[in-house]
């Protein structure tokens, strides 16, 4: 054998040896369970490929959705959101009564509910949990401002006293921030507790390797008999859209969170994959800074809103998987008014508004876009060409996402793209945040101020008559659309792709998932 062939042979042999050696590693675990069509089967370990890691398990302070959707499997609330996202249903409480003055709610707790430590839940735990949520200096305490005090007169009774009648109370109580934890954190400090949280939910803490994976395992003391079906769920941090999709196709994950819109069509026809588009409360907006000229001029804002072809945005950005927006509220929110036309695409009307404005010949302005966000860059590029007929020259300014966030919240922008998803099944949180300049967010960081709209928003909070609330919120929706303080762009669903052996997976319009109902079949 000559030297060259020998060298080549050694090279090939070495390469093969390395591949074989590398191949002798552990493989992933295949899901267990019965054959599909045979009904729910107990067992299995589900891998959930998430777009980003969680931030914290502190349910009273954290705003990050990925953290929320995980710890909702651990902590539960007195009432929970219904599947259509428009109401609440009993959960850790079974019923309530309300005083004639509508300021005292008495809740009866469900019997036999235990924490994952085995200890029975009592009203003392509920009182402690809600009191902790109310006093969090940063976090969701603003939703509990109507609560004056919480009492626990009996182990299965909780009494909530309000400062004034408050229509959204049950919706506010359904938020994860009011999730029930052991009183006094089970003897630990708050910081220690949230490193290994304990709740009454279907799953309990296992581990969290930050930036890699967070695992929950079945709670053996869970109060819904026979549930959860799964042995465990592991959320993995997989920020790359392609990688999540490949993990799904390669069997390394069973759920792909938020696949790219461009891949939804192909995933619908991929064998072994089920593509879901769950109705959501997500709404995308174009915000105008009314502290900067000429956006204080309602005609300018209306002109821009009328010049936007929302159907084209839905097609270009969402690949058709969405709906043009007509209202500040999304359709899945209670008291949404489908009859509010909003300002839909009408170039002639847009030109007429510009003619009436303070800048009839147009102007130069800018839009802030987070660098690397291809959807927002696409929207901005489309807006650039759609505003040109009005004489508006739009410069797209791409900045790092943190800087865009900062500039938006300190009102250092002309126009910016933004979005909202509901946290409670009541429009109050969104309405107050969006239209009240004194809400802390300065009307969704636009400085919009219409006293009539603000007044009706606050009236709707203290009125418990649904018909009156509908009338008030109809006005809020119609007037805010006419004022065009933001251009309402589109409503989009929550896209999730799963392998076909995943059953029972459902996401409410608020993004909540009841993973206790999910089971895996063998095929």
Partner 1 sequence: MGRMAFVLRRLLMLVPVAVGVTIIVFFMIHLIPGDPARTILGIHATPRAVAILHRQWGLDRPLVSQYWLFMDRLLHGNLGQSLYYGVPATGLILGRLPATLWLVCYAAVLAVLVSVPLAMIAASRKDGIRDHVVRAVPLLGLGMPPFWVGILLIYALAIHVRWFPVSGYGTGFGGHLHAMFLPALTVAIALAPVVIRALRASMLTVLGAEYITTARSKGVPRSRLFLRHVLRNAVIPAVTVLGINIGFLIGGTVVIENVFAIPGIGQLMINSIFQRDFPVVQGVTLVFGVLVVLVNLLADLSYAALDPRVRFDR
Q: Which residues bind partner 1 (CB under 8 A)?
A: 3-4, 6-8, 10-11, 14-15, 18-19, 21-28, 55-56, 62-64, 137-138, 142, 191, 209-212, 236-240, 242-243, 246-247, 249-252, 399-403, 405-407, 409, 418, 420, 433, 440-441, 444-445
User: Please, is 215 exposed, middle or buried when counting C-beta atoms within 10 Å of its C-beta (0-12, 13-18, 19+)?
Assistant: middle
In this complex, which beta carbon is closest to partner 1, that of residue 219 or of residue 443? 443
**DSSP secondary structure code for residue 497 in this structure:** E
Handedness of CA 463, 466, 471, 474 (dihedral sign): positive
**Residues 6 or more apart whose Cβ sits within 8 Å of residue 72:** 176, 179, 201, 512, 513
Residue 114 CB, nearest approach to partner 1 (Å):
29
In this complex, which beta carbon is closest to partner 1, that of residue 98 or of residue 399? 399
Degrees (nearest 5) of the Cα angle 333, 337, 341? 130
Residue 184 CB, nearest approach to partner 1 (Å):
21
In this complex, which beta carbon is closest to partner 1, that of residue 83 or of residue 237? 237
Q: How far, in Å, CA of 286 to CA of 328, rounded?
A: 11
In this complex, which beta carbon is closest to partner 1, that of residue 156 or of residue 428? 428
**Residues 6 or more apart whose Cβ sits within 8 Å of residue 318:** 261, 490, 492
In this complex, which beta carbon is closest to partner 1, that of residue 25 or of residue 226? 25
What is residue 343's three-state secondary structure?
A: coil
Residue 203 CB, nearest approach to partner 1 (Å):
21
The H or E element containing residue 499 is strand 486-499
Cα 272 to the center of its chain, rounded Å: 27
Residue 437 CB, nearest approach to partner 1 (Å):
13
* Structure token digits, residue 377: 């860059």
Residue 16 CB, nearest approach to partner 1 (Å):
12
**DSSP secondary structure code for residue 78 in this structure:** S
The phi, psi pair for 130, rounded to 5°, reads -70, -40
What is residue 125's three-state secondary structure?
A: helix
In this complex, which beta carbon is closest to partner 1, that of residue 209 or of residue 393? 209
Q: Which residues pair with 495 in a beta bridge?
A: 277
In this complex, which beta carbon is closest to partner 1, that of residue 51 or of residue 347? 51
Residue 129 CB, nearest approach to partner 1 (Å):
20
Residue 190: how many other CB atoms lie within 10 Å:
14
Residue 118 CB, nearest approach to partner 1 (Å):
28
Full DSSP string of 434-471: HH-TTSSSHHHHT----HHHHHHHHHHHH---HHHHHH
In this complex, which beta carbon is closest to partner 1, that of residue 389 or of residue 401? 401
Residue 368 CB, nearest approach to partner 1 (Å):
12
In this complex, which beta carbon is closest to partner 1, that of residue 309 or of residue 499? 499
Residue 468 CB, nearest approach to partner 1 (Å):
29
């Amino acid at each position: 054998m000559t030297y060259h062939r020998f060298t080549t042979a050694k090279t090939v042999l070495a390469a093969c040896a390395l591949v074989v050696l590398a191949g002798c590693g552990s493989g992933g675990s295949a899901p267990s369970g019965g054959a599909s069509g045979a009904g729910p089967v107990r067992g299995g370990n589900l891998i959930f490929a998430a777009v980003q890691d969680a931030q914290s398990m502190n349910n009273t302070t954290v705003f990050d959705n990925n953290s929320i959707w995980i710890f909702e499997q651990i902590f539960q609330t007195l009432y929970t959101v219904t599947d259509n996202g428009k109401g609440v249903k009993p959960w850790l409480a079974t019923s309530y009564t309300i005083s004639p003055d509508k300021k005292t709610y008495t809740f009866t707790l469900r019997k036999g509910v235990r924490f994952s430590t085995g200890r029975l839940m009592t009203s003392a735990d509920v009182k402690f949990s809600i009191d902790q949520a109310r006093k969090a200096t940063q976090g969701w305490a603003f939703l509990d401002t109507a609560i004056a005090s919480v009492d626990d007169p009996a182990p299965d009774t909780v009494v909530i006293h309000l400062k004034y009648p408050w229509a959204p109370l049950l919706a506010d109580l359904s938020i994860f921030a009011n999730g029930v934890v052991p009183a006094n954190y089970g003897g630990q400090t708050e910081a220690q507790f949230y490193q290994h949280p304990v709740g009454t939910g279907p799953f309990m803490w296992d581990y969290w390797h930050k930036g890699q994976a967070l695992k929950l395992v079945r709670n053996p003391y869970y109060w819904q008999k026979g549930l959860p079906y799964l042995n465990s769920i592991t959320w993995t941090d997989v920020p790359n859209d392609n990688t999540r999709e490949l993990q799904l196709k390669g069997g390394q994950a069973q759920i792909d969170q938020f696949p790219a819109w461009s891949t939804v069509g192909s995933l619908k026809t991929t064998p072994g994959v089920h593509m879901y588009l769950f109705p959501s409360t997500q709404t995308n907006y174009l915000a105008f800074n009314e502290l900067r000229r000429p956006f204080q001029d309602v005609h300018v804002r209306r002109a821009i809103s009328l010049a936007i072809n929302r159907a084209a945005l839905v097609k270009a950005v969402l690949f058709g998987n969405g709906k043009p927006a007509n209202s500040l509220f999304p359709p899945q929110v209670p008291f949404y008014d489908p009859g509010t036309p909003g300002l839909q695409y009408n170039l002639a009307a847009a030109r007429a508004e510009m003619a009436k404005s303070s800048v009839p010949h147009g102007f130069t302005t800018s839009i802030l876009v987070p660098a690397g966000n291809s959807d927002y860059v696409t929207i901005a590029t489309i807006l650039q060409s759609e505003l040109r007929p009005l004489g508006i020259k739009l410069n797209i300014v791409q900045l790092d996402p943190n800087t865009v966030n900062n500039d938006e919240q300190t009102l250092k922008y002309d126009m910016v793209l933004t979005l909202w998803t509901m946290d409670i099944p009541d429009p109050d949180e969104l309405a107050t945040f969006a239209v009240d300049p004194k809400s802390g967010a300065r009307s969704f960081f636009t400085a919009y101020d219409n006293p009539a709209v603000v007044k009706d928003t606050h009236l709707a909070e203290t009125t418990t008559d649904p018909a009156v609330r509908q009338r008030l919120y109809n006005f809020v929706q119609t007037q805010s659309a006419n004022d065009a303080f933001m251009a309402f762009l589109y409503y989009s669903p929550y896209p999730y792709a799963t392998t076909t052996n995943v059953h029972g997976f459902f996401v409410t319009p608020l993004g909540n998932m009841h993973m206790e109902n999910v089971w895996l079949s063998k095929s």
